[in-house]
Structure 1
Amino acid sequence: MLSAPYDSIYEEFKTIIPEERIYTDALRTMAYGTDASFYRLIPKIVVDTDCEDEIVQLLRIIDRHGVAVTFRAAGTSLSGQAISDSILIRMSEEWRNFEILDDATKIALDPGIIGSHANRILAPHGKKIGPDPASIDTCKIGGIVANNASGMCCGVAENSYKTLDSMRIVMADGTILDTGDPQSRKCFAQTHGALLEGLACLRERVIEDESLASLIRKKFKIKNTTGYSLNAIVDFEDPFDILQHLLVGSEGTLAFISKVVYRTVVEHPHKASALMRFPNIESACQAAHICRKEKVAAAELMDRASLASVQDKDGMPEGLASLAPEASALLVEVRAASEAELQQKIDAILGAVKELPAVIPHEFTAIPAEFNVLWNVRRGLFPAVGAVRKAGTTVIIEDVAFPTEKLAEATLDLQALFKKNGYDNAIIFGHALEGNLHFVFTQDFNVQKEIDRYATFMDDVTDMVANKYKGSLKAEHGTGRNMAHFVELEWGRDAYKLMEDIKELFDPKGLLNPGVILNEDPEAHLKDLKPLPVAHDIIDRCIECGFCEPTCPSRELTLTPRQRIVTYRELSRVQAEGTDFPDALEQFKKSFDYEGEATCAADGLCALRCPVSIDTGKFIKVYRSWARGTWEKAVASLAAKGFGPTTRFIEVDLKLAGVAHDVLGDKVMDTVTGALHTYSGKHIPRWNTSMPRVVQQGTHPETPRSALKVVYFPSCVARHMGVEKHDPDKTELRDHTLSILTKAGYEVIYPDKMNTLCCGQPWESKGFMEQADKKLAELEVALRAASEDGKYPILCDTSPCLYRMQEHIKGLTLMEPIQFALTHLLDKLELTPVNKRVALHVTCSSRKMGLADTMADLARRCAREVVVPDDIYCCGFAGDRGFNYPELNEAALNRLSEQLEGCTVGYSTSRTCEIGLSLHGKVPYKNIMFLLDEASWPKA
């Protein structure tokens, strides 16, 4: 039950927002209230909003009740600026509108668009947005602007502050201002003239105080996100310009940003990089200073500890391990409009640094595969620390900046502070062009002694940065809770008072994200620390960064991988400590069983985005295995042992469902089966109109004898699930596969007793690990016999099955359709693209095998136009989970059909995925072998 006034607020919220988008339960408030920082506050109410009008009405209610509110975009913020113990407002994925303006010189963006998505929109125009934070594949525009996030290349010249054209704002009292609309400005001047006049007075006050104005100008020559963007007051005269630029970096403490118009920047088509290695940090910093003058795109400094943390990993450049203890490196990138200009820049840089001592001669590469290897060194630094930290500790990444001429000296001082405070495994890297350093270390917040050590270290660091070097305590990660108390230390009393006055003008009641940016509590950075209890080996390395979230099919339905880990950690902590009431614990667990376990597709795509490669899906499978009782395991064993009868039972089910569908029709069949599914508590699978009919069984046709041989293992799903009723093409996958193999001159071999064989995937996905492994072992014996122990390649038509086979079976050449086509078919077939606009879905397994681009390339060789829908990574059908929890499939594909305009058919490599894709894409999906067969014929 909510206490006053939140009970009243909740009732008022329900008049504006559908109740299913308002959360007050213990599990969801914890899950949705967690961000990437090492702080934890649990909100009383979490609200998901779809549009600006909802924000306006919510803020009016909040203003009337006088409670605090925090806005959340992606929750990748590192300093605790996106958490709340009051009201948390999140943006749903409806906040994804955009408009390209003025021949792509500008772009209008909703705050819910992911940064890299904005760049995908602009890429055909040769443009991009200026900010380029490391989290750009996850963080959203609202957070990028609100934190003035920058990155490796944008520096201080192309960040949000410098590239902002206009913005649309909702003030604390619910008033809307569009700074790009003259009429909106006129209305705002009438209703909020006092605020505009106050800003004008602040500017006058600063300009008259030359020492303060000079301080502000000096502080923003390097990266600085400590406190408010006071440079707005000296850079602009128009109060509206001052206002909107103060919003940049304001971390949700002044107003809500509902739309941003950026001036775009050029995305140069030609790039080259070099990993310059120097004998000491001084030489590397001197090189960075030179590179700044040469206007390189990026220069990333890495100390020896950084390089040591990644030197033994696969794919790293040679020679890192042999570097001396004092060595350092500078990763430099140059960009240009042409190859000739690129080479000129390279020559100029090499000439400029030739007098500096180098470990090896500097060498640039313009080959993407090679310079991506170099950048993998840089990208691997943060994960490297996270991967080796002790369970229960957190990874802290801090972010400071120094005058560039003092960078070498400051780096050495920082290393000395690590040693003084016992942080022996800390690493330093950063954006050297702007004097910006990141330092990463592990910290235990479970013991008071360790918290005290952290407090001492922070006092040492802030004193060194602010007093000795007059630098920035926060360069690009935002002030947050972590540095809010130290803002006055860096800026001094006059500038701090200026910030207090700004806050008072915008938010006189102090309701917007209190405690962030300005905080008088000297121990604020040591309070509300997030516990990271030991929970399970698979997930203990999670740093809760949220990078996994954009690929998760349940992200709009229930929980993301990060949130599953957060809530399971809490569940395991409470169970271990016994500090909660049993009924509350039982309710939390019951919620987790649906939100965390039942609606997890367990696709493993989260591991591809995770900095430390955590496969949350794998953990959920383990969790499922814990829940399996003796009788369930017995039934699973019986089904595995008698797989032949089991599949015949499935065939009967499919036939009966097909007959019922023909008799009842779509609408009645859907209504009846929907009711059965609901009233059985989801125990009866949910039928849908794209349900396949049973494959017409028969003998497997023989192919002509040939020196070329292949073992063909159709998955059990493909052997039994044929075409759907409404697909005009009634041919079977088996027939198209055999047609292609015959065209290519292959003799096909089938494993013995094939109808009893299965890779074990249906058992593994449900947590029956023992049964899954037994089925896989049976399959391996059969495949070894059929392939004469690996003499012939083995083709499986279903990617998820093949992926499991490849994971566990060694010594055999196992391939799914794309792999087999590239390796064994394309040199034997002629391809002519069919005159169709087709859709393509890359399954989770194919993505994990690195086949996404390859599959798209193959499809484009076979069809006139290929559509690969944006931001749909996993279909959410997850084997048979789409029948038991169809809401997961629906949530994952809710934007599929709108992207398939003009498509007549779609292709994939998993029959169960194709069921959900056909249903929600509103075009029939089938195996890509259909397309390859249609577009190919034998080479002469």
Structure 2
Amino acid sequence: MSLPAGFIAEVQRLIPAERRFDDPTSRLAFGTDASFYRLVPKLVIRVESEAEVIALLRLAQRERVPVTFRAAGTSLSGQAISGSVLLVLGDGWNGHEVRQRGEQIRLQPGVIGAQANLWLAPYGRKIGPDPASINACKIGGIVANNASGMCCGTAQNSYHTLAGLRLVLADGTLLDTEVPASVEAFERSHGELLAQLAEVGRATRADSALAEKIRHKYRLKNTTGLSLNALVDFEQPLDILSHLLVGSEGTLGFISAVTYRTVPDPAHKATALIVFPDVATCCNAVTVLTQQPVAAVELLDRRSLRSVQNKPGMPAFVQTLPASACALLIEVCGTSGEALRAAIDQVAGCLARFPIEQQVPFSQDPTENARLWAIRKGTFPAVGAVRATGTTVIIEDVTFPVERLAEAVNRLIALFEKHHYDEAILFGHALEGNLHFVFTQGFNSQAQIDRYQAFMIDVAQLVAVEFGGSLKAEHGTGRNMAPFVELEWGKQAYQLMWQLKRLLDPAGILNPDAVLSTDPHIHLKHLKPMPAADELVDKCIECGFCEPACPSNGLTLSPRQRIVMWRDIQAKKRAGDDTTALEKHFAYQGVDTCAATGLCAQRCPVGIDTGALVKKLRGQHAAHPHAARWLAEHFAATLRSARFTLRSADSARRLLGAPRLARWSAQLSHASGDRLPRWNSAMPQAVAPLHLGAHAQGNQPRVVYLAACVSRVMGPAAGDREQSTLLEKTRGLLEKAGYQVVFPDTPDALCCGQPFASKGYAVQAERKRQQLLDALLKASRGGLDPIYCDTSPCALRLVQGLADTRLDLYDPVRFIRTHLLDKLQFTPQAAPVAVHVTCSTQHLGESQVMIDLARRCSQQVIIPEGIHCCGFAGDKGFTTPQLNAHALRSLKGAVQHCSEGVSTSRTCEIGLSHHAGIDYHGLVYLVDRVTQPKPVH
């Protein structure tokens, strides 16, 4: 059924057109979360304020239109999808307030969990919940699902660390439990509701059997159904209400803000991997560890270890472990080095009584600890990476009583074997008896669906009935476990949940069929298809971890959404459908607005670079190979033309004035379909061609200076206070450090090939790359001299897949770190500096080094939050300026107190300067300004 006409008309009045999505591409793209379900919403609305949510909920209540809320969409059980109206959080939900020196933090629902911890880090605190998706998931989802994690347990989840809540009920009523005036107003308007909640609480507590059952259930990690513990833990109806919202998955109201009591984040940590000969021994050790000073204990069965045993950095013994082996990854923390050592000794002493197959002893080395945690974090993606195309990865999440853990693990493994899930692995948070099991599943035939159903019935019977455990420990009920809530809780508790649902959402408009459903087969409906699309992206599990790093996320499509759309297009093509309109839409949404920098691959659990797919598609539509070949073969002429264009633009600026030129340029660019670049005040002036002069001679160390083509063409903007070119500044810095600077022959003919690769001309790109590498080999005397490349994207392109080990090639950050720090004396300036770490610097693994270098140069370094890629992407800032503008929409406010910004890409600096309102320069400008040569002794 379509949405009511009255609803649509009122939404059009309330919400601007650019934040309403009803086209097929957007609706399908937003119809996906991280679960194995898909519902295509009829309307998607990006909400930016509390007032909008209130108005929309009142409208939905009046028109009886179901509404679902979406934060990051990383949920695994189908709780963030809708076949009706989907409300997606926009940029207006990122507020925060640190209170009481970090003892509390107030957060809006759009804040990413990891960002909250960054704000708390200076105080040695963090939020209690620590889900594995914390780098992508948002506070709204963390609270609404009562998410926990590896160290959180039950004591530190959202429910137990809640200090205050701001919420909107289904009827559009706002309540802030921390504001007395709001509470008083709510008590006047909803006194009857509060009285009913109080009465339900009293009746529940008075029923000793029911109350005891509830307390027993929450002794374990439990997110199955609604949070009935609110009825026995609290007497005041406002406390009951706020805690009912935690874990309600958007079925009882909208969470507008939350205040957490934070928890300590000890600075001293150590990790060990202990492998036991069998499951029973391992689980018996867990029972002992529950009484020890451990922060986390992760169980990994042999199948889990086998899934990652061939990964780089894995201990060699993992490959030779017996089939019965079972391991524990143990983390111990301390407030001081002495406290940590005492805790390690105590834990090691308690484990001494158990036979151990192999081990990596406790280590405080952060690198070693990261390597060990990579074993645990790599198990889920390892299964995803080897699954058959067309299948999906399912991760289930159950809790058993810890005292029966050994029996439970063996029974679960027996179920894998019974239902022929041979690839299934088992791991989890052992201290709480919380186990995750991962398996691959196809839904392309009734036989596959029947197999899944039979397995889930067996799992539900085993966990909920035989062991009295939880069917959902931390991933939320969603629609995945909604049919099994009554099985786990019993009829009385189940009807109590429905009573609460009808009390708070009498019209049933909030996220129907999630948590509670009258359909016993809802978990078998709306199963997500995973059709083959391209081998580059077929392993995508649609988790959404990639989205925070994507500059086009929120403008057009995210990497996850690009893959969803491309899968749909390919499936329709195979079915014989006409996909012309979809492909035309995708050309802009999916291809033209993709920066293709590959940052998504760094976030992706299975390493998918969606940008590689986009480049492939660009290559398929690259219609001018002859022109590309000519430009490559006459590259010096190409650069002369570029210099002429920049000189002409500067002449026009002098003649017309900057405001008029910017206005006319924008009009011309629009008329040309964005084929002509737009001029703005940050546009560079032309750089004169490089004159080599004599080759360096003498006994000083030599460095080959590879000036990128953008550095050889693009100088400072006319209004920039720094009028030295990057070439001049870099050469001066290198000579200051005692180097003789030499250049490759015929530099204007050289290019790394990046401009050709980004346009889809891979053959011409590789030809230019190889030509440059040959020139560098000659200039460096066969690799004797180091090579300094002044632009990090070019350096990355040259070093990726570099077969010639003779070439010693550096980007600016790595060269300064390895070759200049011992030759220069730094005197940091007082003026604050903004740092933009380019995508290529991130790929090169030099992000933290660049930040550390900036801190050597300035007493105050600002790293703008949430900006991972500037979206300039070579020339996208000229031809698709809306991508650059969207990626940097929050930059100006973040750097307003800075005197300048630094980066390592000249083109990125153009966009950064334009949108920040301050000048961005290469890192070498800052380093040169604050350094002197060290005295020679």
Q: TM-score, normalised by structure 1?
A: 0.98
Which residue does 1:594 correspond to in 2? 588
Q: Is the 8 A contact 2:690 2:712 kept in 1?
A: no
Which residue does 2:571 correspond to in 1? 573
Which residue does 2:787 correspond to in 1? 794
After superposition, the Cα gap between the structure-2 partners of 1:186 and 1:834, relative to the gap in structure 1 and judged at 3 Å, is: closer
* 178, 186, 189: which one aligns with 1:188: 186
Instruction: Find the aligned partners of 1:548 and 1:210 in 2 and give their Cα distance.
Output: 48
Q: CA deviation at 1:863?
A: 2.4
* 718, 732, 735: which one aligns with 1:725: 718
Q: CA deviation at 1:361?
A: 5.8
Instruction: Find the aligned partners of 1:5 and 1:27 in 2 and give their Cα distance.
Output: 18
Which structure 2 residues correspond to residues 728-807 of structure 1 after superposition, within 5 A?
728-807=721-800
Q: CA deviation at 1:786?
A: 1.5
Secondary structure of the structure 2 residue equivalent to 1:161? coil
* 632, 645, 652: which one aligns with 1:640: 632
Q: CA deviation at 1:704?
A: 5.2
Which structure 2 residues correspond to residues 845-924 of structure 1 after superposition, within 5 A?
845-924=840-919
Which residue does 1:693 correspond to in 2? 685
Instruction: Find the aligned partners of 1:5 and 1:341 in 2 and give their Cα distance.
Output: 61
Instruction: Find the aligned partners of 2:30 and 2:612 in 1 and give their Cα distance.
Output: 22
Instruction: Find the aligned partners of 2:5 and 2:319 in 1 and give their Cα distance.
Output: 60
Which structure 2 residues correspond to residues 110-509 of structure 1 after superposition, within 5 A?
110-360=108-358, 363-509=361-507
Instruction: Find the aligned partners of 2:317 and 2:519 in 1 and give their Cα distance.
Output: 48
Q: CA deviation at 1:682?
A: 1.1
Instruction: Find the aligned partners of 1:57 and 1:561 in 2 and give their Cα distance.
Output: 32
Question: Deviations 1:789-846 (Å, cap 9, x if unpaired)?
Answer: 3222211101001101111432211111111112222222222223432111111000
Q: Which moved more, 1:393-402 or 1:689-698?
A: 689-698
Q: CA deviation at 1:747?
A: 2.1
Secondary structure of the structure 2 residue equivalent to 1:481? coil
> Residue 913 of structure 2 aligns to which amino acid in structure 1?
S
Which structure 2 residues correspond to residues 577-726 of structure 1 after superposition, within 5 A?
577-579=575-577, 582=578, 585-629=579-623, 632-700=624-692, 702=694, 703=696, 705-726=698-719
Secondary structure of the structure 1 residue equivalent to 2:136? coil
Q: CA deviation at 1:591?
A: 1.5
Which residue does 1:817 correspond to in 2? 812
Q: TM-score, normalised by structure 2?
A: 0.98
Which residue does 2:90 correspond to in 1? 92
Q: Is the 8 A contact 1:5 1:65 kept in 2?
A: no
> Residue 609 of structure 1 aligns to which amino acid in structure 2?
R
Q: Is the 8 A contact 1:706 1:746 kept in 2?
A: no
Q: CA deviation at 1:754?
A: 1.1
Instruction: Find the aligned partners of 1:708 and 1:224 in 2 and give their Cα distance.
Output: 65
Which residue does 1:45 correspond to in 2? 43
Instruction: Find the aligned partners of 2:194 and 2:341 in 1 and give their Cα distance.
Output: 50
Q: Which moved more, 1:131-140 or 1:278-287?
A: 278-287
> Residue 279 of structure 1 aligns to which amino acid in structure 2?
P
Q: Is the 8 A contact 2:302 2:325 kept in 1?
A: yes
Instruction: Find the aligned partners of 2:528 and 2:88 in 1 and give their Cα distance.
Output: 20
Secondary structure of the structure 2 residue equivalent to 1:745? coil
Instruction: Find the aligned partners of 2:444 and 2:411 in 1 and give their Cα distance.
Output: 28
Instruction: Find the aligned partners of 1:854 and 1:474 in 2 and give their Cα distance.
Output: 41
> Residue 813 of structure 2 aligns to which amino acid in structure 1?
I
Q: Is the 8 A contact 1:251 1:480 kept in 2?
A: yes
Q: Which moved more, 1:738-747 or 1:870-879?
A: 738-747
> Residue 68 of structure 1 aligns to which amino acid in structure 2?
P
> Residue 876 of structure 1 aligns to which amino acid in structure 2?
G
Q: CA deviation at 1:776?
A: 1.0
Secondary structure of the structure 2 residue equivalent to 1:433? helix
Which residue does 2:34 correspond to in 1? 36
Which residue does 2:11 correspond to in 1? 13
Q: Is the 8 A contact 2:165 2:257 kept in 1?
A: yes
Q: Is the 8 A contact 2:168 2:254 kept in 1?
A: yes
Instruction: Find the aligned partners of 1:108 and 1:683 in 2 and give their Cα distance.
Output: 46
> Residue 544 of structure 1 aligns to which amino acid in structure 2?
E
Q: CA deviation at 1:239?
A: 0.8
Q: Is the 8 A contact 1:6 1:44 kept in 2?
A: no
> Residue 529 of structure 1 aligns to which amino acid in structure 2?
L
Q: CA deviation at 1:656?
A: 0.2
Secondary structure of the structure 1 residue equivalent to 2:342? helix
Q: Which moved more, 1:302-311 or 1:633-642?
A: 633-642
Q: CA deviation at 1:362?
A: 6.5
Instruction: Find the aligned partners of 2:754 and 2:628 in 1 and give their Cα distance.
Output: 12
Q: Is the 8 A contact 2:690 2:747 kept in 1?
A: no
Q: CA deviation at 1:368?
A: 1.2
Secondary structure of the structure 2 residue equivalent to 1:663? helix
Which residue does 2:828 correspond to in 1? 833
Secondary structure of the structure 1 residue equivalent to 2:318? coil
> Residue 56 of structure 1 aligns to which amino acid in structure 2?
I
Instruction: Find the aligned partners of 2:709 and 2:101 in 1 and give their Cα distance.
Output: 52
Question: Deviations 1:452-497 (Å, cap 9, x if unpaired)?
Answer: 1111111111111111101000000000010000000101100100
Q: CA deviation at 1:291?
A: 1.3
> Residue 745 of structure 1 aligns to which amino acid in structure 2?
G
* 927, 931, 936: which one aligns with 1:932: 927
Q: Is the 8 A contact 2:688 2:712 kept in 1?
A: no
Question: Deviations 1:516-539 (Å, cap 9, x if unpaired)?
Answer: 111122221111000010010110
Which structure 2 residues correspond to residues 42-81 of structure 1 after superposition, within 5 A?
42-81=40-79
Instruction: Find the aligned partners of 1:659 and 1:867 in 2 and give their Cα distance.
Output: 35
> Residue 578 of structure 1 aligns to which amino acid in structure 2?
G
Instruction: Find the aligned partners of 1:199 and 1:835 in 2 and give their Cα distance.
Output: 58
Give the share of equivalent positions with the same residue, in percent.
51
Instruction: Find the aligned partners of 1:329 and 1:93 in 2 and give their Cα distance.
Output: 43
Instruction: Find the aligned partners of 1:616 and 1:901 in 2 and give their Cα distance.
Output: 33
> Residue 709 of structure 2 aligns to which amino acid in structure 1?
C
Question: Deviations 1:52-107 (Å, cap 9, x if unpaired)?
Answer: 01100011111111010000000000000000000000111210111122332211
Q: CA deviation at 1:758?
A: 0.5
Q: Is the 8 A contact 2:164 2:177 kept in 1?
A: yes
> Residue 937 of structure 1 aligns to which amino acid in structure 2?
Q
Instruction: Find the aligned partners of 1:545 and 1:664 in 2 and give their Cα distance.
Output: 51
Q: CA deviation at 1:935?
A: 2.3
Q: CA deviation at 1:698?
A: 4.7
* Uncovered stretches (5+) of structure 1, i.e. residues with no partner: none
